Amino acid sequence: MSKKESFVKGTLILAGAALIARVLGLFQRVPLEHILGDIGNASYSQANAAYFMLLTLATAGIPSTLSKMVSERHALNRPEEARRVYQAALLFAGAAGVVMFVLLFVLAPYYAAASGVPESVVAIRALAPALLLFPLIAIIRGYLQGRNIMIAGGVSQVIEQIVRVATGIVLAFLLFNWGYSGEQIAAGATFGAVLGGVAALVVMLVYSMKLSRKDQTEGKEKAEKESGRLPFKRIYAEIFKLSIPIVLTALAVPAVNFIDNSILKPLLTGQIGSGQATYILGILGNRAQMIAGIPPILAIALSQSLVPIISAAYARKDQEHLQRQVTLAMRVAVLSGMPIILALGTAAYSVNGLLFSTRDGSSIVALLTFATIFQITMMTSNSILLGVGKANLSMVHVAIGILVKLAASYVLAQFWGIYGIIIATGLCFLVITLLNVRAMKQIVPFSLMGSRWGGFLVTIVALSGIGYGLNQAGIQMVDLMPARVAFFLTCCIVGVAVVALYPILLIALRVVRKDELAGYPAPLRKVLSPLMRLQRGGRQVG
């Protein structure tokens, strides 16, 4: 298997695991939303926002940096240095986990009070022990990826989610039946993440021990004295130099979610009252952010499968190939993310009615879902800049975007409430994307769509109208059958119609053209190739 094929396979394994994890996470949120109540939902949302923010700080960037450092040293036949780097990373992960645990546990009352949901303290503290585990899991995962064992990360992620969801739901329902309050039930649900972390750590240790035994069998274990021991100071300098820009870049989405959960109630209480603001916070955190997290998964995985090719072309100074691959990566991200956005966005009312206890907040779900197109372009362009060695630029752009998010949220919330806050989120991702694209064009000129924008916008408008029309027609079935059955059928109808018509319109309107199909990732080629007979007239210039 070639390196490119191996990387693509690994990327798709991780993307599949991420998709399964997202679905399992949604499966957990649905029953919890029904039993937690307003305070419980807000507490659960607050706990997760603070947790993921700190977890990103503790882990993001370092596993991928470790993977790179380990892979390079094994390629140079220096496995003893790779093990030394791994040991240093494990020590850092252990220390970072302890620091983050203490910070979250000690500061929980202050954060909960400042964000307007003081009841969330118990849920935040119940989740804090997970920070002792996940930095270690991330480091082991990064090491195994550096050894080209991608399946370990995927398996651990799925097992972790299964245990987290199962134990979280069981604990929540036990506490509910025993008559505990919503915030205490939320604490039981969040503690499932700790038990999931234990399961994931066990899986990673099993894979790690298997690899160690294999290395011993193959004679790869060498005495450290053969080449000397790398000092930890030098290792940490290399790790932090590479990982800090990645960490700060990766903070974009967790930081936005953290900001929203922190400022929503203080901003909206004066407009709609404390109780309604708490209710809206629960809808945003436990419904909208969860559903809006689905479209980016496949789009980003497919586009990231092209990043190593971009890195290689940049290293060779092959401008023509670099231009082609940068264009393709951005185009694939947009084209593959859009149908899921359209389906979920136009059917938001039915999705809301199918999954959750009320149909309130459907417009919040729809607006945030549509805004994820800019999240997709932001994350893809961030990856490209990292691939061409411009991590510092993407870090600066994310910082600017976060400042825009904060300022716009305070201004727009005064006029449009929660919708102003969501618009500010979309604006943040758009600003980062535009700054990234400007930087990328200084490296290599490229055009995302060029003359194809017209056809692409026609496709979006047409399918938005079709999806919305089918949703409005489908929800009339609530008068003929149980509501959830009607919503389920409507979701299926909208999803099938939008996803089936999307590639047909793209090809018919020449947004996707026959001569460029060979450069697309294999999953997209399989979908698009049979439809190419819709295009006539031979080769098209893109």
Percent of the chain with pLDDT over 70: 90
Those residues whose C-beta lies under 8 Å from the C-beta of residue 15, and which sit 6 or more positions away, are 297, 298, 300, 301, 302
Q: How confident is the model at residue 11 (pLDDT cuts 50, 70, 90)?
A: low
Spatial separation of the C-alpha atoms in residues 242 and 245, rounded to whole Å: 7
CA angle 138, 208, 51 (to 5 degrees): 20
In terms of pTM, does the model score above 0.85? no
Q: How confident is the model at residue 13 (pLDDT cuts 50, 70, 90)?
A: low
Question: What is the arithmetic mean of pLDDT over 192-212?
Answer: 91
Spatial separation of the C-alpha atoms in residues 222 and 333, rounded to whole Å: 44
Encode pLDDT of 420-433 as tens digits. Answer: 999 999 999 999 99
Encode pLDDT of 16-47 as tens digits. Answer: 666 677 677 767 778 888 888 889 999 999 89
Q: How confident is the model at residue 223 (pLDDT cuts 50, 70, 90)?
A: very low
Encode pLDDT of 299-320 as tens digits. Answer: 766 665 666 677 778 878 888 8
Place of tokens 């503290």: 125
* Lowest mean pLDDT across 59-68, 275-284, 410-419, 440-449: 59-68
DSSP letter string, 253-307: HHHHHHHHHHHHHHHHHHHH-HHHHHHHHHHIIIIIHHHHTSTHHHHHHHHHTTH
Q: What pLDDT, on a 0 to 100 scale, did the predictor assign at position 396?
A: 94
Encode pLDDT of 388-400 as tens digits. Answer: 888 889 999 999 9
pLDDT higher than 70, residue 76: yes
Q: How confident is the model at residue 9 (pLDDT cuts 50, 70, 90)?
A: low
Report the chain's mean pLDDT, rounded to a whole number. 86
DSSP letter string, 350-419: HHHHHHSS--TTHHHHHHHHHHHHHHHHHHHHHHHHHHTT-HHHHHHHHHHHHHHHHHHHHHHHHHHTHH
Which has the higher per-residue pLDDT, 252 or 514?
A: 252
Q: What pLDDT, on a 0 to 100 scale, did the predictor assign at position 217?
A: 77
Q: What pLDDT, on a 0 to 100 scale, did the predictor assign at position 412?
A: 97
Please name the helix (run of DSSP H) or strand (run of DSSP E) that holds residue 478, with its range, or none.
none
Q: What pLDDT, on a 0 to 100 scale, did the predictor assign at position 536?
A: 63
Those residues whose C-beta lies under 8 Å from the C-beta of residue 110, and which sit 6 or more positions away, are none
Count CB atoms within 10 A of the CB of residue 237: 11
Highest-pLDDT range among 386-390, 464-468, 516-520: 464-468
Amino acid (1-letter code) at residue 250: A
421 neighbors 409 (Cβ within 8 angstroms): yes
Q: What pLDDT, on a 0 to 100 scale, did the predictor assign at position 220?
A: 52
Q: What pLDDT, on a 0 to 100 scale, did the predictor assign at position 167?
A: 93
Spatial separation of the C-alpha atoms in residues 84 and 184, rounded to whole Å: 43
Half-sphere exposure of 292 (CA within 13 A, CB side): 27
Encode pLDDT of 339-373 as tens digits. Answer: 999 999 999 999 999 999 889 999 999 999 999 99
Which has the higher per-residue pLDDT, 487 or 286?
A: 487
